[in-house]
Amino acid sequence: MRGAEMNELRLFREDGLRIDGRRVDELRPVKMEVGVLDKSDGSAYIEMGKTKIFAAVFGPKEAHPRHLSQPHRAILNCRYHMATFSVEERKHPGMTRREIELSKVIKESLESLVFLNEYPRSAIDVYIEVVQADAGTRTAGLTAASLALADAGIQMNDLCCGVAVGKVGGRIVLDPSEEEDKHGEADMPIAIAPRQNSIVLLQLNGRMTREEMRLGIEMARKGIEVLYSVQIAALTKRVRSSHQGGSGRY
């Protein structure tokens, strides 16, 4: 039996639904909250299924060390990190190569959204802390980071919403879980600036045909429409609660 056929048996139920009961184009349950931490300038929390992530933003503030500051724009620093207890096998507490790479790609996506020129000689620090990982952490982290930047009042041309699509048992599925990701043939994280309708992150692990990629991007776009409405609802709730004098924080 070929790998894809075996995975189809393992990862799809007899009724054609995925092992967690979702349709191929269905997101996991999503929750977002803005302004969840007291000690940062902006913050957000996201849950996508069992994936749980906090994002915190500090700044704009004076850049340190000074020689790194840019006279005409802000520098944006980003640290994506997984807590040691966020994964099945305890993770080394330091930054792994994977985390360094993800910090870089997330930083580049965020740089395309923030009006850096509005903040000369400044630094904006973005921390993404994965407290429970079940796949899709880079895209969920990016979604939360854009909310935290908005919460910090940093000027941006758009928010950013991300989700992965996978190829599992030969089928294209939206928002794969870790189980699907592990046994799947390919994984394609996508993030979109929804109002501009531009792709700010697209990666591909494994192989997909051109038609599968087209279908995957189409599926991701539909998922991102849902995620964007959840983002807007979370920001609206935050604005309402701060007008009413509540902090909305944990």
Residue type, position 104, single letter: K
Residue nearest to ligand UDP (CB): 137
Instruction: Report the nearest approach of ligand UDP to the CB of residue 87 (Å).
Output: 4
**125/187 with CB nearer ligand UDP:** 187
CB 45 within 8 A of CB 127: no
Report the distance separating Cα 107 and Cα 92, nearest Å: 22
Task: List contacts with ligand UDP (CB under 6 A).
Answer: 87-88, 91, 98, 133-138, 164, 178, 181, 187, 189
Torsion 25-183-191-249 (CA) sign: positive
Phi, then psi, of 214 in degrees rounded to 5: -60, -45
Instruction: Report the nearest approach of ligand UDP to the CB of residue 141 (Å).
Output: 8
Instruction: Report the nearest approach of ligand UDP to the CB of residue 203 (Å).
Output: 9
**151/181 with CB nearer ligand UDP:** 181
**14/88 with CB nearer ligand UDP:** 88
Instruction: Report the nearest approach of ligand UDP to the CB of residue 132 (Å).
Output: 9
**181/185 with CB nearer ligand UDP:** 181
CA distances from 204 to 4, 135, 183, 187, 207 (A): 18, 14, 16, 6, 8
